[in-house]
Structure 1
Amino acid sequence: MDELVDGLKQSFYNYISPSESDISKFVAPWTHFETEKNSIITKVGQVEPYFYYIHKGLVRGYFLKEGVEYNMGFSYDGEYSGVYDSFITQQPSTWTLESITDTRGLKITYSDLMLLLDEHKLMERWMRLFYQKVLVGFGIFTKSILADTAEERYSRLIKQSPHVLQMIPQKHLASYLGMTPETFSRMRKRVRD
């Protein structure tokens, strides 16, 4: 558990500079979670009860339309995760959060996180900076899906996050980039040659 708490502390330090006293208060309400590979963490229609810190593992957010899965994003070692819109609004989720690998980390309930945000200005700053990063990333992703060619989307991925090619199954990356697995495979082969 100490390893997970140390990882969570470091994730806070990436955004804010809390004192030792503050950081102890910030990590206190987080609890351990563990999921097996291919486990549903949050399903459509369920209100997201937690905000997650992924210490080790890989999760994806996706939705189904007419039987086809559309990947919206991935979280892995050292990152946060959850069905953010459902968590913030406390309304039923319209998409699913699933572990792709065995995953472990820490989680905090909505009420515990809101209490921390209300009581600690620095914690509120952490949340604001985190959501700014999410919004900027979402804007870049949306623009890319709407305006970029498949090749441009693939190039952006390998430039920004080349490590995901080794971590995330090709079919999930293809879906995330809005292309078929066959198109993704052709682009990957073209770049390697």
Structure 2
Amino acid sequence: MEQIKAYFESNFQMSEADWSIFSSKLNRVECSKKEILLEVGKTEKYLSFIENGIVRLYVPKEDGELTFAFVFQGGFVSAYDSFLTQSPSTYVVETVTDTVLWRLTYQDLQTVYKETDIGNFIGRKASEELFLKKSQRELSLLQDSAEERYLKLFTERPEIIQQIPLKYIASYIGITPQALSRIRSRIS
């Protein structure tokens, strides 16, 4: 819990009273590698902070999977549209590695909003972080070639190159593993 407290202290001026309320709502969950946190058709009940590990969000397809996000240690993860609307998710949330999460339920977040001075700032920070990652990815898919998207990962998201299996990277940049192999051969 110290990692999440340090994160909040570096981003907000949080009183001990607010921290006490907020931290009392958090639940620590240890997850195995490749554990499904949320299935298609289920409603997201949690906004989670990753203490350790990597989580992937993807759309299952008949011919494979379409990965659209990775979230690493120190980030928030959620099927956020499902969380906000409390409606079924259209994608899967799965761990890539053994992962430790600090989870806050939808109802508990509403309580934090009502009972603390800092609650709305926490919600806004999580929303902004998730939105920025989503919009950057969408723009890259619209503006960049597959090779440019792959090369950008080296500078913008080196943790993906270093820690994610190539089949997931290929899916993330919108190509087949074979096409990624050709790109890697060309640029090496």
TM-score interval, normalised by the smaller of the two chains? over 0.9
* Cα separation, 2, equivalents of 1:124 and 1:170: 38
**Count of aligned pairs between the two proteins:** 188
* 8 Å CA contact retained: 2:170, 2:177: yes
Offset, 1:19 = 2.0
Q: Does 1:90 align with 2:86?
A: yes
- 1:39 counterpart letter in structure 2: E
* Cα separation, 1, equivalents of 2:2 and 2:163: 23
Q: Does 1:81 align with 2:116?
A: no
- 1:154 is matched with which residue? 150
* Cα separation, 2, equivalents of 1:14 and 1:103: 23
* Cα separation, 1, equivalents of 2:130 and 2:102: 19
- 2:181 is matched with which residue? 185
- 1:9 is matched with which residue? 5
Offset, 1:146 = 1.7
* Cα separation, 2, equivalents of 1:156 and 1:130: 24
1:33-72 map, 5 Å? 33-72=29-68
* 8 Å CA contact retained: 1:48, 1:86: yes
Percent of aligned positions that are identical: 36
Offset, 1:170 = 0.8
- 2:140 counterpart letter in structure 1: S
* Cα separation, 2, equivalents of 1:22 and 1:112: 13
* 8 Å CA contact retained: 1:70, 1:175: yes
- 2:98 counterpart letter in structure 1: D
TM-score in terms of structure 1 length: 0.90
State the superposition RMSD in angstroms: 1.6
* Cα separation, 2, equivalents of 1:109 and 1:177: 31
* Cα separation, 2, equivalents of 1:108 and 1:118: 15
* Cα separation, 2, equivalents of 1:163 and 1:10: 21
Q: Partner of 1:163: helix, strand, or coil?
A: helix
Q: Partner of 2:13: helix, strand, or coil?
A: coil
- 2:135 counterpart letter in structure 1: G
Q: Does 1:142 align with 2:138?
A: yes
* 8 Å CA contact retained: 1:15, 1:126: no
Structure 2 residue ranges without an equivalent (≥5): none
Q: Does 1:114 align with 2:110?
A: yes
Change in Cα spacing, 1:118 to 1:190, as seen in structure 2 (3 Å) is farther
